[in-house]
Copies of this chain bind each other. A is one copy, B any other.
Amino acid sequence: MTVGIVVLGTGRIGKMHAELIARQVPGAQLAGVFDVTDSAAELGAELACPVATSLDDALAIEADAVAICTSTDTHVDAMVAAAGAGRAIFCEKPLSLDLAQVDRGLAAVEAAGVSLQIGFNRRFDPSHKAVADAVAHRAVGDVHLCNITSRDPGPPPISYIEGSGGIFCDMTIHDFDMARYVTRSEIVEVYATGAVRVDPAIGEAGDIDTAVVVLTHENGAITTIDNSRKAVYGYDQRVEVFGSEGMASSGNFHDFNARIATSGGFTAPPLQHFFIERYTRSYLDQWKAFVEVVRDDAPSPVTGADGRAPLLVGLAAWKSLREGRPVQCAEIA
User: Do A244 and B193 touch (CB < 8 A)?
Assistant: no
For residue A195, CB closer than 8 A to chain B, the reply is yes
Tell whether, in the assembled complex, residue B144 and residue A263 are in contact, meaning their CB atoms are under 8 Å apart: no
Q: How far is the CA of A127 from the CA of B23 in the complex (A)?
A: 28
A2 to chain B, nearest CB (A): 15
In angstroms, Cα B144 to Cα A232, docked, is 13
Q: In this complex, which of A142, A194, A254 has the most chain B Cβ atoms within 10 angstroms of its Cβ?
A: A254
Number of this chain's copies in the complex: 4
Question: Contacts A142-B197, A144-B210; is A259 near B248 (CB within 8 Å)?
Answer: yes
Q: What B residues does A130 contact at CB under 8 A? A: 256, 258, 260, 269
Q: Does A145 contact B (CB under 8 A)?
A: yes
A246 to B226, CA, bound (A): 15
A260 touches B139 (CB 8 A): yes
- Which B residues are in CB contact (< 8 Å) with A262? 139-140, 232-233, 245-246
Contact B232 A245 (CB under 8 A): yes
A250, B245: Cβ atoms closer than 8 Å = no
Q: How far is the CA of A323 from the CA of B270 in the complex (A)?
A: 43
Q: Report which of B128, B220, B224, B232 forms a contact with A246, defined as CB distance below 8 A.
A: B232
Given contacts A127-B258, A130-B256, is CB(A147)–CB(B149) below 8 Å?
Answer: yes
Closest to A126 in B: B256
B242 near A254 (CB under 8 angstroms)?
no
Q: Which residues of B contact A131 (CB under 8 A)?
A: 258
A290 vs B325: C-alpha distance when bound (angstroms): 43
Contacts of A270 in B (CB 8 A): 261, 263-266
A256 and B278 CA atoms in complex are apart in Å by 11
Check B197–A244 contact: CB distance below 8 A.
Answer: yes
List, in ascending order, chain B residues with CB within 8 A of A250's CB.
256-259
- Chain B residues lying within 8 Å of A125, measured Cβ to Cβ, are 256
Contacting residue for A222 out of B128, B151, B210, B271, CB 8 A:
B210
Question: A253 interface residue, CB < 8 Å from B?
Answer: yes
**CB within 8 Å of B: which of A113-152?**
125-128, 130-131, 134, 139-140, 142, 144-145, 147, 149, 151
Q: Is A14 an interface residue (CB 8 A)?
A: no
User: Judging by beta carbons under 8 Å apart, are A257 and B251 in contact?
Assistant: yes
Closest partner residue, chain B, to A191 (CB atom): B191
Query: B269 and A268: CB pair below 8 A?
Result: no
Cβ of A197 and Cβ of B247 under 8 Å apart? no
Chain A, residues 142-167, CB within 8 Å of chain B (1/0): the string is 10110101010000000000000000
A-B contacts, 16 of them at CB < 8 A, read A23-B23, A126-B256, A130-B260, A145-B226, A191-B193, A193-B326, A197-B220, A226-B242, A231-B242, A232-B262, A246-B262, A248-B260, A251-B257, A251-B259, A263-B270, A265-B268
